[in-house]
A and B are shown apart, each in its own frame.
Chain A
């Protein structure tokens, strides 16, 4: 089996008349945190949504653990062990925090040891366990969204901008959670605009522009090369 848990080969995705992904080739190494970077509107979210099956690839192949999942329906992809945290968090606001977590435990009852670990990472979830998820603050909702994906061990986590719009203290909590997940050997494909978080967590980086992958390599290389950052993303990480 390849060292890549996920591979995209020439993936093209159209939404209505717009050609959003125009031949994406992307590899996600097993047990690593792969950053997907780029300016707004270059196709990062569409890439994640195409992988999970919310939008269909019109051309190309998506291989997960060597299996072609391009045409599989979303539930089948999720059941192969892919956890998804969307950009809008996808919280069920009318359900309690507990019910959100019960629903996320697809294979059976919640594992109490794993839940205790999640409570240690996100104490707010324990405090608001019986509250409606809709009453949580933005940061707490994001914690719930990530915890929901982590309530069962997945082979791959697709996480879309988990720190977007959050206060620094909550960003630290998020980063800690993702670091602990990484230490457990999880494979993560992470879209992130916060370069401090990207630099701290990422093993490899992929930069997108105009619906294509324009650079891939070691995160450290990108983090230390201001000219490369400027050329690829029109900004320097050093300024962040």
Chain B
């Protein structure tokens, strides 16, 4: 009998493309910004548009991050997510109107206090509403996607009508707190203060979500639950409680996004959440279902592209994000950083 050949497997050398593949979505954001720098004739205009795009992206991310987690963990397609955006905006703006003497004062501390009250009030209201929404509307239709779409859209319509009953059918105009009005000049570019604040809040939310998901046991349970909920339960964790917690957190984040979006637009309507759902779904889909990082990068791409294209070719801006979604899905059919694999 001859001796068995010596087992010395050769490891294939990874190509540069394979090594860069995990970072490709981030590289895409940088490439898009470089494209903007080349295509936009003035650097100051590019800087203004870039900050504006980042701010818009951050706000979309805040609104969409809850939806992607809810979809990833609970396998729930929540078309009613926009209701939390609208309610958040209305509750937040109501607080700001109540605290008009604080928002109109020249003191930064008073302005920020009013903003914090509005944000926490909106998040508490939408978190509570999320708890009720999950219990009454979503819980009976777990595992039935078609029913989920129908019933959550119905929930959205009911909430919109309730907003009209409570706040009236007219749109409400709102002015930002004094300290957040106006712009600062940076390298010749006028950058709105409010947009910088939105970028800051978006970054804080993203880093906080990443920290919770990556560094805490609750985050581990959520990540594992996205992958195999049955096994998480077999280890002894009550996934149902985690479901509810994630739904409440996702709803509260949508409420925060609603306040920021309302102040960004300086006008709020009962339908603003519904209208933002197209952008939110685009971001969730291109980011990869269940992925917070993908959602973040997707939101930045959407925000930047919308601003650059609106400046360069306003008519094309309407379809730019749909085009972006088509291109990304052709490149990565499951989204940029998929967590939940298509079944």
Contacting A at CB under 8 A, from B237-253, are 237-239
Query: Which interface residue of B224, B232, B234, B237 has the most chain A CB atoms within 10 A?
Result: B234
CB distance from B290 to the nearest CB of A (A): 10
CB-CB under 8 A from B239, the residues of chain A are 75
The segment from A30-38, A97-105, A115-123 that touches chain B is: A97-105
The interface of chain A, by Cβ under 8 A from chain B, is 52-54, 73-75, 78-79, 84, 86, 90, 92-95, 99, 102-104, 106, 148
CB-CB under 8 A from B134, the residues of chain A are none
Q: Which of B217, B231, B236 contacts A79 (CB 8 A)?
A: B236
Distance, CA A1 to CA B224, complexed state (A): 37
Please determine whether B230 and A103 come into contact, CB atoms closer than 8 angstroms.
no
CB-CB under 8 A from A102, the residues of chain B are 217, 220
Distance, CA A148 to CA B221, complexed state (A): 15
Distance, CA A78 to CA B237, complexed state (A): 8
CB distance from A98 to the nearest CB of B (A): 10
CB-CB under 8 A from B17, the residues of chain A are none
Query: Which interface residue of A86, A92, A104 has the most chain B CB atoms within 10 A?
Result: A92
Query: Which interface residue of A52, A90, A93, A95 has the most chain B CB atoms within 10 A?
Result: A90
CB distance from B255 to the nearest CB of A (A): 29
CB distance from A152 to the nearest CB of B (A): 9
Please determine whether B230 and A92 come into contact, CB atoms closer than 8 angstroms.
no
Please determine whether B236 and A90 come into contact, CB atoms closer than 8 angstroms.
no
Please determine whether B235 and A106 come into contact, CB atoms closer than 8 angstroms.
yes
Distance, CA A94 to CA B228, complexed state (A): 11
CB distance from B139 to the nearest CB of A (A): 15
Distance, CA A95 to CA B238, complexed state (A): 19
Q: Which of A54, A94, A99, A106 contacts B230 (CB 8 A)?
A: A54
Please determine whether A106 and B234 come into contact, CB atoms closer than 8 angstroms.
no
Please determine whether A84 and B220 come into contact, CB atoms closer than 8 angstroms.
no
Please determine whether B233 and A90 come into contact, CB atoms closer than 8 angstroms.
no
Is B75 part of the contact surface with A, judged by Cβ < 8 Å?
Answer: no
> Chain A residue with minimal CB distance to B234?
A84
Please determine whether A75 and B233 come into contact, CB atoms closer than 8 angstroms.
yes
Distance, CA A94 to CA B73, complexed state (A): 14
CB-CB under 8 A from A94, the residues of chain B are 223, 227, 339
Query: Which interface residue of A94, A103, A104 has the most chain B CB atoms within 10 A?
Result: A103
Please determine whether A92 and B231 come into contact, CB atoms closer than 8 angstroms.
yes
> Chain A residue with minimal CB distance to B233?
A74
CB-CB under 8 A from A52, the residues of chain B are 234
CB distance from A221 to the nearest CB of B (A): 33
**11 A-B residue pairings within 8 Å (CB atoms):** A54-B230, A54-B234, A73-B233, A75-B238, A78-B234, A78-B236, A92-B231, A93-B227, A94-B223, A99-B220, A102-B217
- A75-B233, A75-B236, A95-B224 given; name 5 further pairs at CB < 8 Å: A74-B230, A74-B234, A86-B234, A95-B223, A102-B220
> Chain A residue with minimal CB distance to B238?
A75
> Chain B residue with minimal CB distance to A109?
B217
Contacting A at CB under 8 A, from B180-228, are 217, 220-221, 223-224, 227-228
Given contacts A54-B230, A86-B231, A90-B230, contact A106 B224 (CB under 8 A): no
Distance, CA A31 to CA B257, complexed state (A): 56
CB-CB under 8 A from B235, the residues of chain A are 78, 103-104, 106, 148
CB-CB under 8 A from B237, the residues of chain A are 75, 106
Q: Which of B217, B228, B233 contacts A92 (CB 8 A)?
A: B228
CB distance from A238 to the nearest CB of B (A): 26
> Chain A residue with minimal CB distance to B239?
A75
Q: Please list the 5 inter-chain residue pairs (A to B) with the smallest Cβ-Cβ separation, ordered nearest first.
A: A90-B231, A78-B236, A74-B233, A106-B236, A84-B234
CB-CB under 8 A from A84, the residues of chain B are 234
> Chain B residue with minimal CB distance to A100?
B224
Distance, CA A106 to CA B220, complexed state (A): 12
Distance, CA A90 to CA B239, complexed state (A): 16
CB distance from A175 to the nearest CB of B (A): 23
